[in-house]
Chain A
Amino acid sequence: MHWFESQLAQLDTLADDYLAARRQPAADIVNVSEATRLKRAAFIDAVQSVVDKVVKIEGVSACAAYHDGLILAQSAEASNMDADAFGAIIQETIRAAQHGETSLGLGEIEQIVIVGAVNKLAMLSVGPIILCISSPKGVNLASVLSQAK
């Protein structure tokens, strides 16, 4: 498993832990509330950490995480990008892909890549969020992400 795969696997585990904590019976609501809050914080902190690491990889121009088309985590370097426009495109793209999920029998959408004449954008579904990575068109994203440490 290469670096980026291991990061995604870790995020998936944390997301699963959080979702499991949320499903606990609410007999002891105070303890359930605290446990859920801590698991959610662990997941979100890990997402922010991955975003911060990915954006430092040579060839990657921006990285951010979105929830329902609204920005959830972004790197300090990417603060000048139009996060709202990015989010809107992501939301539209995910919605279009979800039509294929049922009509083409694709299963749950895991990744979407849009390649433009200038740049490309990869969207990866991780638990309740979408992780977005952008790079110039010529960059082999899979390769740079797998070689990162």
Chain B
Amino acid sequence: MSSNVQFLDPRKSQNNEIDSILRNLMNIQGVSAAAIVDSDGFVTHIHRDFEINTDAIGASVQVVFGAAAKAAQHVGHHLTNMVICENNDGYILSTPIDAGFILALVTQREALLGRVRFELKETIPVLKKLFTSYLAN
């Protein structure tokens, strides 16, 4: 006898939600790429509106975040919650999620830094829970 119960794949729905979060971040004025980078510097999820070398950005984000985190430890600031690179033509913001994963945003100069930072700060707790659940499944 067949059952009417449908087994949903939780990883699929979590993965879809992670994609929705990145898409939402891309909707912010001036944001041109949103990526999740694993602890080895590989990009696991990305949304972007320009051609980007994903391997290079993934590795660079991990290197920059690692260097900033080390600097923070040297001055007794303990954990690093966000690294903001202010560049000539925009910003790169990176925030740790869980298990070495980092959320990185690339923005144009006209992006409103407070808007992007607010969205990142509010998004991270949810992403942490999604990743904890995702990695556990």
Chain A positions near chain B (C-beta within 8 angstroms)? 22, 26, 29-30, 32-34, 36-37, 40-41, 44, 65-74, 87, 128-129
Residue from the list B16, B115, B126 in contact with A32, Cβ < 8 A: B126
Q: Which residues of A contact B129 (CB under 8 A)?
A: 26, 29, 33
Contacting A at CB under 8 A, from B113-137, are 113-115, 117-119, 122-123, 125-126, 129-130, 133
Q: Are A30 and B130 in contact (CB under 8 A)?
A: yes
* Sampled A-B contacts (5; CB under 8 Å): A30-B17, A30-B130, A34-B20, A71-B114, A72-B118
In the complex, the number of residue pairs spanning A and B with C-beta atoms less than 8 Å apart equals 64
Count contacts on B: residues with CB < 8 A to the other chain: 21
Chain B positions near chain A (C-beta within 8 angstroms)? 13-14, 16-17, 20-21, 24, 112-115, 117-119, 122-123, 125-126, 129-130, 133
Query: Which of A29, A44, A73, A128 has its CB near the most chain B CB atoms (within 10 A)?
Result: A29
A84→B17 CA distance, assembly (Å): 34
Q: Are A33 and B130 in contact (CB under 8 A)?
A: yes
Q: Are B115 and A72 in contact (CB under 8 A)?
A: yes
A33→B129 CA distance, assembly (Å): 9
Q: Are A34 and B17 in contact (CB under 8 A)?
A: yes
Q: Are A68 and B117 in contact (CB under 8 A)?
A: yes
Residue from the list B21, B118, B130 in contact with A128, Cβ < 8 A: B118
